[in-house]
Amino acid sequence: MNVLTIEWVQKAEGDYETTLRESRVRRHPNYDAVCFHAQQTAEKYLKAVLQESGFSFPKTHNLIELLEMCLRVDATFELMRRPLVLLDRYAIRYRYPGESAEKDEGQAAVQAVKVIREIARSRLGLPLVTRT
């Protein structure tokens, strides 16, 4: 695996750990952060796959755009579409005043990112280290 791919994976894992950690908080959980970091995990894993496959990609947070590029690498990435559609809205939705994520959205984001992470890690030949 090339060095830049490894860095993308490390960044993705950092966001994934933050997603899980914040989703377990009992007092004053920040579901905005859960949703945002789940989106960031997905984005960085997609970019890791593209990097490892030799594809250049634009500076974008659009998960569907990245998915379309990944489909040129592996058609099984279509399995990610539904969870990516869910997470795509979280790139900016809760970063500014006006809206806040609720517990059910945070839980859905966690489930979605677990699917994406599993597929991406499998494609990259990485073990799936299970975390709760």
Looking at the structure of the chain, the number of domains it has is 1
User: For residue 94, is pLDDT > 90?
Assistant: no
pTM listed for this prediction: 0.94
Q: Which domain holds residue 115?
A: 3-123
The average confidence (pLDDT) of the chain is 94
Asked whether residue 18 is assigned to any structural domain, the reply reads yes
The pLDDT value recorded for residue 103 is 95
Q: What is the CATH number of the domain that holds 114?
A: 1.20.120.330
Nearest to 87 by CA among 48, 50, 121, 113: 113
SS3 84: helix
User: For residue 130, is pLDDT > 80?
Assistant: no
Nearest to 9 by CA among 131, 120, 101: 120
DSSP assignments along 11-62, one per residue = HHHHHHHHHHHHHT--SS--HHHHHHHHHHHHHHHHHHHHHHTT----S---
Q: What percent of the chain has pLDDT over 70?
A: 98
pLDDT digits (tens, 9 = 90+) for 27-81: 999 999 999 999 999 999 999 999 999 999 999 999 999 999 999 999 999 999 9
Nearest to 40 by CA among 56, 52, 22: 22
Asked whether residue 130 is assigned to any structural domain, the reply reads no
